[in-house]
Chain A
Amino acid sequence: MSGPLNALFAWAFLVPLGPTLAFVVVGLFGRRMQRLEWGGWVAVGAAFVAMVLGVLIAIGEMLSPGTYTDRNIAWFTLPGNGTGTFPHGFSLVMGTLVDPLSAIMLIVVTVVGFLVMLYSISYMRRDAGLPRYYAELSLFLASMLGLVLADNLLQFFLFWELVGVCSYFLIGFYYQRPAAASAAKEAFLVTRVGDVLFLGGIFIYFQQFATAGPAPGWAASGFLFVHHGIPFLALLHPSNPTLFTVAGLLILGGAAGKSAQFPLDVWLPDAMEGPTTVSALIHAATMVAAGVYLLAITSVFIGFSSTDLLVIVAIGGFTAFWAASMAMVNRDIKRVIAYSTVSQLGYMVLAIGAGFTMVGLYHLFTHAFFKALLFLAAGAVIHAVETQDLFKMGGLRKTMKITSIGFLIGGLSLAGIPPLAGFFSKDDVLSSVYTAAQTHPLYWPFYVLALLTVFMTAYYIFRVWFLTFSGEHPRDPTLPHAHDAPWTMTVPIVVLSALAVLAGALVFVPQFGGLFAAGVGFPATPGVPPTYTTTDILLSSLSVGLGVGGILTAYVLWGNGRVFALPESSGAQPIRRLLLERYYVKVGVDWFGRRVVYTVARFFDFVDEYVIDGTIHGFERLFSDLSIRLRRIQSGIVLDYAAYVIVGLAVFLVFLYLIVPAIPALGGG
Chain B
Amino acid sequence: MTDLPLAGFLALSAVLLGVGLFGILTRRNFILLLIAIEVAMNSAILNFVVFGSYWGTVPTHGLEGQSVAVVLVGLAATEVAVGLAIVLALNRLRGSINVAEATVLKL
Closest chain B residue, CB of each to CB of A634? B106
The answer to whether B106 touches A635, judged by C-beta atoms less than 8 angstroms apart, is yes
Residue from A634, A635, A636, A642 in contact with B25 in the complex, judged by beta carbons closer than 8 Å: A642
- Residues from chain A with Cβ under 8 Å of B99 in the complex: 637-639
Q: Which residues of A contact B (CB under 8 A)?
A: 634-639, 642-643, 646
The answer to whether B106 touches A636, judged by C-beta atoms less than 8 angstroms apart, is yes
Closest chain A residue, CB of each to CB of B36? A642
- Residues from chain A with Cβ under 8 Å of B102 in the complex: 637-638
Total interface residues on B, CB under 8 Å, equals: 12
- Residues from chain B with Cβ under 8 Å of A638 in the complex: 99, 102
Q: Provide the main secondary structure of the chain A interface.
A: helix
Give Cα A638–Cα B33 distance, bound, in whole angstroms. Answer: 11
The answer to whether B25 touches A639, judged by C-beta atoms less than 8 angstroms apart, is yes
B4 touches A (CB below 8 Å): no
The answer to whether A639 touches B106, judged by C-beta atoms less than 8 angstroms apart, is no
The answer to whether A635 touches B24, judged by C-beta atoms less than 8 angstroms apart, is no
The answer to whether B106 touches A643, judged by C-beta atoms less than 8 angstroms apart, is no
Closest chain A residue, CB of each to CB of B105? A636
The answer to whether A637 touches B25, judged by C-beta atoms less than 8 angstroms apart, is no
Give Cα A643–Cα B103 distance, bound, in whole angstroms. Answer: 16
B31 touches A (CB below 8 Å): no
Give Cα A639–Cα B100 distance, bound, in whole angstroms. Answer: 7
Residue from B21, B28, B33, B103 in contact with A635 in the complex, judged by beta carbons closer than 8 Å: B103
Pairs A–B under 8 Å by Cβ, sample size 9: A634-B106, A636-B106, A637-B100, A638-B102, A639-B24, A639-B25, A639-B99, A639-B100, A646-B24
Minimum Cβ distance to chain A for residue B34 (Å): 12
The answer to whether B105 touches A643, judged by C-beta atoms less than 8 angstroms apart, is no
Residues 95-107 of chain B: 1 if any A CB is under 8 Å from the residue's CB, otherwise 0?
A: 0000110111110
Minimum Cβ distance to chain A for residue B1 (Å): 28
Closest chain A residue, CB of each to CB of B99? A638
The answer to whether A646 touches B21, judged by C-beta atoms less than 8 angstroms apart, is yes
Give 18 new A-B contacts, CB below 8 A, not counting A634-B106, A635-B103, A646-B25. A635-B106, A636-B103, A636-B104, A636-B105, A636-B106, A637-B99, A637-B102, A638-B99, A638-B102, A639-B24, A639-B25, A639-B33, A639-B99, A639-B100, A642-B24, A642-B25, A646-B21, A646-B24
Give Cα A642–Cα B106 distance, bound, in whole angstroms. Answer: 15
Give Cα A340–Cα B12 distance, bound, in whole angstroms. Answer: 108
Give Cα A638–Cα B25 distance, bound, in whole angstroms. Answer: 10
- Residues from chain A with Cβ under 8 Å of B103 in the complex: 635-637
Minimum Cβ distance to chain A for residue B47 (Å): 15
The answer to whether A643 touches B100, judged by C-beta atoms less than 8 angstroms apart, is no
Give Cα A183–Cα B56 distance, bound, in whole angstroms. Answer: 94
- Residues from chain B with Cβ under 8 Å of A643 in the complex: 25
Residues of chain B in range 18-39 having any CB-CB distance to chain A below 8 Å: 21, 24-25, 28, 33
- Residues from chain B with Cβ under 8 Å of A634 in the complex: 106
Give the 8 A-B CB pairs with smallest separation, nearest first.
A636-B106, A636-B103, A642-B24, A638-B99, A637-B100, A643-B25, A637-B103, A636-B105
The answer to whether B21 touches A639, judged by C-beta atoms less than 8 angstroms apart, is no
Minimum Cβ distance to chain B for residue A117 (Å): 63
Minimum Cβ distance to chain B for residue A137 (Å): 58
- Residues from chain A with Cβ under 8 Å of B105 in the complex: 636
Minimum Cβ distance to chain B for residue A630 (Å): 15
- Residues from chain B with Cβ under 8 Å of A639 in the complex: 24-25, 28, 33, 99-100
Give Cα A639–Cα B105 distance, bound, in whole angstroms. Answer: 13
